[in-house]
Structure 1
C-alpha cells in the first residue's frame, strides 16, 4: 500500500492556499546520520518535508513560492551519480524529481544558495523555521546579506518571516482519508505484534527477546521500522516511563509493560499493554490494572468533537485519585487530594498526545491560552497509567514495583470516536484467556 502522488499534490495545493501572496516557504529534508565510522543510522525523512513532497532521499530542500496564482514547487536534491548508485542504490536525480515526485522544477542541491537569491528577490514574506538546520540557517543569512546589498540597487528582500510550523502543523493535525488508511494499517500491524507477545511471553525470556518476537511478527505484516524505541519493561522497570534498555529477565511474579508501535508509510501507531508474565494477574496487580483500565475506558467514551483537551486529563485524575483512596494508597478527601496533586507520585504524565507522522505528533494543545477542542479527523492516544516505585515506603509492600499503562490509538469522528486498536484485548479476563491458552 503506497501513498499516491495525488495526495501530496492535494496537500501542496492547500499549503499554497494558506501562504500569503508573494511569499516563499523553505522546508528542509533530513540528513543522513553517522552511527560510527562510515556506518550510518537507517535514514528516516523529516516529517514536515515528507508531508508535502513524499520524497525519501536525504539532503534535499523543498521551496514553495506564490509569486504566481498557482504557486510553484521547486525541489533541490542530489544529482544522479553512477558511483554513489553502485554503493547505495539509485537516486532519482532532477529528472525523477519532476517526473516521479511532480516538482515544477528541480535543481542539484549544490545550486541551492545561488538559486535562493533569485527566488527570494521580490518576495514579501518568508515561511521558515530557524534552528532546525544550522547549516541552512547560515545559507539564509548569507542570502539575506546578498539581497540586502543588491537592494541598494533595486533588489527586494522578504519584509516579514513566519515559522513554517504555523501552517504545516495545523495541516498535519487533521488527517485525510489516505492518512487514516495508513494509520489504521499501522495500528493493525501493531495489534498483531502485541497479540504475538501475549502468546509467547513466559518466565525466563529476556525483555529484548520479547522485542525481537514482536519485531518479527510486525515485520511479517509490513512494518519496516518501529515508530519509536520499543519499551519492554518488566517488574519495577515499568515504573521508569521511557525505559528502553530491555535487558532484564522476565520473572513469573512480575508484570511486563510493553509500549511498542509500528511505523507504516511513515505513519505511527503507539500502543501499550501491561501483561502478567505468568499469564495471571495477582490480586494487587489486578486492582491497579483495572483502575487504570477504568480511567482509560471513561476517557475513550468521552471523546467526541467539541471536547476540550484538558477534560480528558481531569477525568483520568478524578478516577485514579478516587481509586487510590479506595485501595489505601492515598488518604484524604478526593477534592483536596486533587487540588494538592497528590496523584503525581503515581501518575505523572498526560492522558495522551497527538499521533500521526510523528509518535508525539505536531499540533498545539492550546490556542490563545484556551485548551483546544477536539474536531473530526484528529488522531490521539489515550494512555493513563499508575507507577508505584519499588522504593515507596509509604505504601504496603504488595503494591511496590507495580507499573501499569494501557494505551490505544483513537480517531475523532463526526459522531464520536473510533478506536483504531480496538481488536487488541485490554480486559483482565480477555488477556488471561489469551495468555493461558
Structure 2
C-alpha cells in the first residue's frame, strides 16, 4: 500500500532564505525570552506585522537539533541517524495496526534521583522515544487513529512551555512551539493543561492502548483518575505487544546506528586487550573514555570487568579488584550511539598469553559461539530458544572432550543463562517479546555462550574458577548473519598477537 505523505513540520515553517547555507532564520512574533506560556494550537505559522528573525543556531532546545548541533545531526534527523520521516512512518504503522476508534497514550519517563537533589542523566522511556524522538520529561504523547489508510492518524504532544527563569536553573527545554515545528506534532499544548484538553483529544475513542501505570496499591494514579474522568467509556489495553512487533524488526537506519556502536566498541575492546592492566577500575575507565572519544555516547550499560574467579559472577559490576597475570579478565561492555546499543563480551588472559588450560576451555566456548552465529539467518528457520538448545548441545560436546562430568544438572551450573536476547534501543530490547519467534531479517540479537566453572572438586582441576563468555551483537539477514561487533578480536592467535 502506498504511504500517504503527511506534512512533516520542521523548522522550515519558520524559515526564510538566509545568506549562509544551513543557517535558517526562525521568525517569532515576540522575542524568545518573552513568548507567552499560553500555547497556541494551530497548524499555521504565527502571523504578525512585526516579525523578529532569530537564527535557529542561536536558540536553545532540550536536545540537539541539526541547526544547533550539525556535528551530531544531519539535515532531517531528529535523533542521530533517524529522520523525521522514519518517526512518522513508525507512528503511521502503529496506528494502522490498531482497530478503528483507538488511541495510544505515552507518558514520558520521569527524572530519576540518585540521592537528595542529585539526579541521574535523563533517559526517555523507550517506546515514547521510538515513536516521537522527543527526549524530555514532563511530556505526554497521544496518537489517534483517524481513518483506514496508512498515515491516517494525529499526533498530539503535551510538554513544558518555555520558561526562561526555570531554564536558567535547570537547563533548556524545547517548548510547545518546537513540539510542532521540530518534532512534527499536529497539535501541541502545555503539559499543565492536559487535564483540561485531553478529553477533547480522546473524543470518540473506544480503546486506549497504554502501558502507563494507572493504579498503584489498589488506588488510581493521577493519570488513571484523569482517564476515568475524560474517557470513562474507553477500554484500556496493553500497548507493549503492538510496539514490540514494530521495534523487534530493525530498519536500515537502526542497524546502521547499531553497527556504528558495535564497530567503535569493538575497536576499543581490541585496544584494551593490547595493553597490560593491574586494576579492574582502570580498565573500566579506559573503556568509558575511549567510547566517548570514538564518537559514541558512552557505556550502554554498567560494564562487567571481572578478574580471576570473579569472572564466574555473571553480572559482577563492582569493578574494584586487582588483575593477576595468571588469570582471565572477563569484560562485558558495549557503547551506545543515538540511544542504540551494542553488547559485547570478551575474555582474555591478563598476561596476553593463554595457558594450555585457558586455551582449551576458551576454544570450547568459541567453537560453540561461531556455530550458533552461523545460524543467525532467516533461511535457517530458527528461534532464539532453538539457538540456545543448539549452543548448549555444542558446549556439552566440547566440555565432555575436556573431561567434564556432565551428569545431572551440570549444564545448568556451567551455562546458567540463555544464549541470547534481543537488542536495540535497550540492552534487553522489546521486553515481553518471546524467544520462540522464528528469526527473520531485521531481528538483532546477541549470541553469548559462557562457561562458569565453580572452584570445587566436581570439576576438572585445571579449569576450576575460570569464567569465560564470548558475546557478539548480530543482525539477522536472509542468508547470512551480520556481525555488528566483529572488530573485537576473539581468536586465540589474534589476541596473543596484540602483545607481540
Query: Which TM-score applies when normalising by structure 1?
Result: 0.90
Which residue, 467, 473, 485 being the options, matches 1:403?
Answer: 467
1:197 aligns with 2:272: yes
Q: How does 1:12-23 map to 2 (within 5 A)?
A: 12-23=91-102
Take 1:263 and 1:157, find their aligned partners in 2: how far apart are those partners? 42
1:153: which partner in 2?
none
After superposition, the Cα gap between the structure-2 partners of 1:50 and 1:133, relative to the gap in structure 1 and judged at 3 Å, is: farther
- Please tell me whether residue 47 in structure 1 is matched to residue 154 in structure 2: no
Q: How large is the RMSD of aligned CA atoms in angstroms?
A: 2.0
- How many residues align? The count is 415
Q: 1:168 maps to which residue?
A: 243
Q: Is the 8 A contact 1:192 1:218 kept in 2?
A: no
* 1:74 to 2:183 alignment: no
The 1:38–1:363 alpha-carbon spacing in structure 2 relative to 1, beyond 3 Å, is closer
Aligned mate of 1:208, from 281, 285, 295: 281
Aligned to 2:362: 289
1:325 and 2:382 are equivalent in the alignment: no
Aligned position for 1:183: 258
d(CA) in 2 for partners of 1:293, 1:257: 14
Which residue is 1:343 aligned to?
Answer: 411
The answer as to 2:275 corresponding to 1:275 is no
SS at match of 2:208: strand
Q: Which residue of 2 aligns with 1:151?
A: none
Deviation at 1:402, TM superposition (A): 0.3
| 1:359 aligns to 2:423 (yes or no) | no
Residues 1:218 and 2:321 aligned together? no
Shift of 1:33: 0.9
1:372 corresponds to which residue?
A: 437
CA contact (8 A) 1:193 1:215 kept: no
Partner of 2:107: 28
Which of the two has greater helix per residue? 1
Structure 1 residues 134 and 48, CA gap change in structure 2 (3 angstroms)? farther
Alpha-carbon distance change, 186 to 137 in structure 1, aligned in 2, over 3 angstroms: farther
Residue 497 of structure 2 is aligned to residue 414 of structure 1: no
- Partner deviation per Cα, 1:233-276 (whole Å, 9 max, x = no partner): 01011100000000101111110000001111000100000010
Q: Deviation digits for residues 170-223 of structure 1, max 9, x if unmatched? A: 110000111011111111121122022112233xx2101101111111111112
Partner residue of 1:424?
488
Q: Tell me, which stretches of 5 or more residues in structure 2 are unaligned?
A: 1-72, 74-79
Give deviations 1:2-60, integer Å, cap 9, x for gaps: 22212211111111211221111101111111112211111111111000000111121
Q: What is the CA–CA distance in structure 1 between the aligned matches of 2:255 and 2:292, rounded to whole Å?
A: 20
Q: 1:112 aligns with which of 183, 189, 194?
A: 194
TM-score under structure 2 normalisation? 0.79
Q: 1:363 to 1:34 in 2, by over 3 A?
A: closer
Deviations 1:381-402 (A, max 9, x none): 0000000123x22124321110
Report the Cα offset of residue 365 of structure 1. 5.2
- Contact 2:298/2:335, CA 8 A, preserved across alignment: yes
Is 1:157 aligned to residue 239 of structure 2?
A: no
Which residue is equivalent to 2:31?
Answer: none
Alpha-carbon deviation of 1:133?
8.6
Q: C-alpha displacement at 1:137, in angstroms?
A: 6.0
For residues 115 and 274 of structure 2, the distance between their equivalents in structure 1, rounded to whole angstroms, comes to 37
Residue matched to 1:146: 229
CA separation of 1:133/1:142 partners in 2, compared to 1, >3 Å: closer, same or farther? closer
The DSSP-based 3-state class of the residue aligned with 2:233 is coil
d(CA) in 1 for partners of 2:475, 2:128: 24
Contact 1:196 1:217 survives alignment (8 Å):
no
> Structure 1 residue runs of 4+, over 4 Å off?
132-137
Unaligned residue ranges in structure 1 (runs of 5+): 149-155, 332-336
Contact 1:201/1:210 (<8 A) preserved: no
Q: CA deviation at 1:301?
A: 1.1
